[in-house]
Each structure stands twice: as C-alpha cells, then as structure tokens.
Amino acid sequence: MKYVEIVKGDGMFRRIIIFFKSGEDSPLIEDENRISKIYERKRWSVYISLILGYGFFYTTRLGLSVAKKPLLDSGILDVQEMGIIGAVLLYTYAVGKFVNGFLADRANIRRFMSVALFISAVINIAFGFTNYFILFVILWGLNGWFQSIGSAPSVVSICQWFSNKERGTRYGIWAGAHNIGEGLTFVGTAFLITLFGWQWGFFGPGIACLIVSTTLFFTLADRPQTYGLPHVADYKKDYSAGKPTKSSIKELQLLVLKSPIVWVLGLSSAFMYTARYAINNWAILFLQESKNYSLIDASFAMSAYPILGLIGAIFSGYFSDKFFNSKRNIPTLIYGLAEISAIVLLFITPPGNKWIDTIALGLFGFGIGGLIVFLAGLIAVDVFPKSVAGAIKGLIGLFSYIGAATQDWISGYLIDSSKVVIGGKDVYNFDNAFFFWIGASILSMLLALAVWNVKPKE
C-alpha cells in the first residue's frame, strides 16, 4: 500500500503536506546481511532518539508548574488564571493528540516530530518575555498543539521498527522517558528560576529543545519500507499479532473510532490523567502552601515522582511480557492500587514529614508510570492492527487530556474558592481538590476492570 498519495491543489498547504507525509516504498533490498545491518542501525538510532525527544518534550510543557509560586508572589497571575492557562494548554493538547494521532499513521515521523519540538521550543522562549494574561493563554494554547505531536508519532515509530514480542518492553522503556523530562523540569527548572527568575523556567527548556529538535531531524527515521527494508513482522519473523493487514488505513481508523474498547480505555485514562496532572501541576504549590516547603525542597521531594515513575514504566512492559505472557490486566490493577494508595498517603500525612511525602510521591510516580503504559496506549495497541497505532493513541489521548485539562480549571477553582486571608496573607486549602483527585483515581480503576479480558482483533 502506498503511503504517499496525490495531493490535490497547489500552494503552501500542499507543499507542507508533501513535506510531512511518509515517503513511498523503495524497492526491497535483496541482500539479507545488508537488510540486517541497516535495520539494526536504524532501530537503535530511532529508539534512542524517541526516548530523548519524548523526554525533552516534557521540559517545554511543565515549566508553568514550577513557576507558579513565583508568578503568584509577583502578582503577575492568580491561581484561577494559572488554572485557566494550564487548562487551555491541555485542551489544545487533547484535540491535537486526536488530530495528530490520525495524521501520524501517514506521516514521516522524522520530520513530524522534530519540527514540532522546534516550534514548541520557540514558543517557550516567547513565553518568558510575556507579562499579560491573554498572551500567556494564546502562547500556552499554541504550545499545547505542538506538544501533542510527541506521543502518537513515537508510538507509531515503535510499531514500525519493533515487532509484537518486542513491543511491550520497548514501549515501557520509551514511556518512562517522560519521567526524565519531568525530573529535569522539577529540579533543573527550579534551580534556574531560583537563580535567575521565573522567565528562565521557559528560556532554559526552550534553548535546550532547540538543540534536541535539530538532533532529532537527523537521527529519527521514516518507515522501514521507505528505505527498501521489509515490514518489521517479516524481518523478525514475528507473526504473534497476525500477518501485516491488507486493509486500508482509513478502514482501520474507522474501526478504532467505533470500538467500545477504545472508548472505555479512553475514559479510564481520562480519570487517571486527572490524578496525574493534578500532582504534576499542583503538588509543588501544595507542598509550599500546605506543608511549608521552600521551592527547592518541594522540587526535590517531587523528583521522587519522575524517578520512580521511570522505574514503574520500564518495569511495567517487561513485567507484563515476562510474567503475564504480554497480558496487561493484572499488572494494571497492581499499578492502580499503588497510585490510589499513594495519593491518599500524600493527602493524610501532616506537615513536617518530608520523608513520608517523598515516599508518597515516589509511589504515586511508580503507579502512574505503569498506568500510562497500559491505559494510555499499550492495551489498545495490543488489540488493534499496528498500522493504526497513531489513531489509537490519538483517540485515547483526546480523552486523557480532556480529563487533564478539566482537572486544571476545576482544581484551580476548588483551591481558590477555599482561600482564606490570615494576617493579610492568602492561605489556600487543598482538601476539596484532593477529594476530587482521589475520586478520579478510583473511577479510573473501575473502568479499567470493565475491559479485563479484552482480546486482540483479527
């Protein structure tokens, strides 16, 4: 099946489409030794690049989470405004995940992903020069769109270059890359802000991602067939997910849209992302306001979250592949119980117990790390043909980030509405917000149980 089709019309839009479209299949290389040499070199280059690139995407998304207290103290933004800005990013991200996920199935991932990170880096730098609420909203909304081109293209590329029996472990390691980005943001960005001011929470990641995006342009790759290589299932002689399908991408994408399985997983992921982004976006402020942490202390406590999240994500794919024959249901339940327990522990622990807070954040990260792997993609990717992995990630991503975005403005409202003034100072109460976050975590697990015995589709 040809991936490059005739694009009607003329002008700039047509040239953009052609630039980002996957190339045509090249004649198949006949020398098996040459195939193996090219395949393995490109597999390593692609995989390392996906981990690096996906991790750095997060550094240009989470700067606002670290900069909230300085922005609040300086009077530039209030809590509700920060909630609105965060929600706008996540809503545009949600729609972008859906649209760009479907486009990723037909895209040249090398160009699609590297250019998106480059534009996101430029937007971050512009954000650091801004002082007006409406400009914050516009820029962060645009950032959400280009941020949405990180995840689905990565999964598409993994499915293009790694076979079914390899995918769980590879997917888990890749999914842990976001924890690297979160760790760099929570610690590195906090230092930059402490030393140079809130603007460097955006300048620093922006400059770094200009360099990373340029590197990705040369180290990522298009589909194997565009280089004269066979389909990865044929290369690895791995037909455990069935032979490569002859159906068109359009037909298979419609199958994804109509599937109740994907919709249930999408809703489950939406509630999981509610809890995930609640901690991502509000935990540092919670530790500062409710438990009297400094910004540096709060950031170091938060660093346990991405570190254990990375371990949880890496372990999840291997754990389910090795011990559960690539079934994801029991591991999903285990990770879900860990996540729920952790967020409750963080809530009920009184001030002055920094080690318990750190343990709770680490356990939360571990649980979320595995749930992101399972609920936000791998379960559904296992079930459907791999040629529509982008559509799967796009639809589930739409649900996930609508949940995350709705969380941000609801949480901002709940926190701000419980504010009291003591001694002329605003004091914020997080109780109602935590009840909301814990309830979302429980709903996520109940929905996940509804697809306990899901089987691959022919």
Give the tens place of pLDDT for each residue, 9-59. 557 778 888 888 988 989 999 888 999 999 999 999 999 999 999 999 988
Q: Given this model, what pLDDT does residue 6 score?
A: 41
- The more confidently predicted of residues 140 and 418 is 140
**327-344 residue pLDDT tens:** 777 888 899 999 999 999
Q: Which two tokens stand for residue 188?
A: 């590195």
The residue-averaged pLDDT of 121-136 equals 92
Q: Given this model, what pLDDT does residue 62 score?
A: 83
Residue 455 lies in a domain: no
What is the C-alpha separation between 388 and 395, in angstroms, rounded?
11
- List alpha helices for 148-294, DSSP H: 151-161, 164-175, 177-183, 190-196, 200-219, 232-236, 249-258, 260-290
Tell me if 281 sits within 8 A of 411, measured CB to CB: yes
Q: How does residue 244 score in pLDDT terms, banded at 50, 70 and 90?
A: low
Q: How does residue 90 score in pLDDT terms, banded at 50, 70 and 90?
A: confident
- The more confidently predicted of residues 197 and 169 is 197
Tokens 């291997």, residue located: 318
Residue 355 lies in a domain: yes
What is the C-alpha separation between 56 and 258, in angstroms, rounded?
34
Q: Given this model, what pLDDT does residue 213 score?
A: 96
Q: At 378, which CATH number?
A: 1.20.1250.20
Q: What is the SS3 assignment for 384?
A: coil
Furthest C-alpha separation in the chain? 79
Residue 81 lies in a domain: yes
Residue at 273: amino acid letter:
Y
Residue 156 lies in a domain: yes
Mean pLDDT score of the chain, rounded to an integer?
85
Q: Given this model, what pLDDT does residue 247 score?
A: 65
Q: How does residue 382 score in pLDDT terms, banded at 50, 70 and 90?
A: confident
Is the pLDDT at 218 greater than 90? The verdict is yes
Number of domains forming the structure of the chain:
1
156 secondary structure, DSSP code: H
Residue 3 lies in a domain: no
Tell me if 126 sits within 8 A of 415, measured CB to CB: no
Residue-number span of the structural domain to which 320 is assigned: 12-449
Q: What is the pTM of this model?
A: 0.74
Q: Which two tokens stand for residue 103?
A: 């486009």
Is the pLDDT at 253 greater than 70? The verdict is yes
Q: Given this model, what pLDDT does residue 441 score?
A: 96
Q: Given this model, what pLDDT does residue 245 score?
A: 59
Q: How does residue 3 score in pLDDT terms, banded at 50, 70 and 90?
A: very low
- The more confidently predicted of residues 454 and 378 is 378
Reference 208, options 93, 70, 45, 53; nearest CA is 53
Tokens 């769980």, residue located: 168
Q: Given this model, what pLDDT does residue 48 score?
A: 94
Tell me if 356 sits within 8 A of 226, measured CB to CB: no
| Interacting residues of 13 by C-beta distance below 8 A, sequence separation 6+ | none
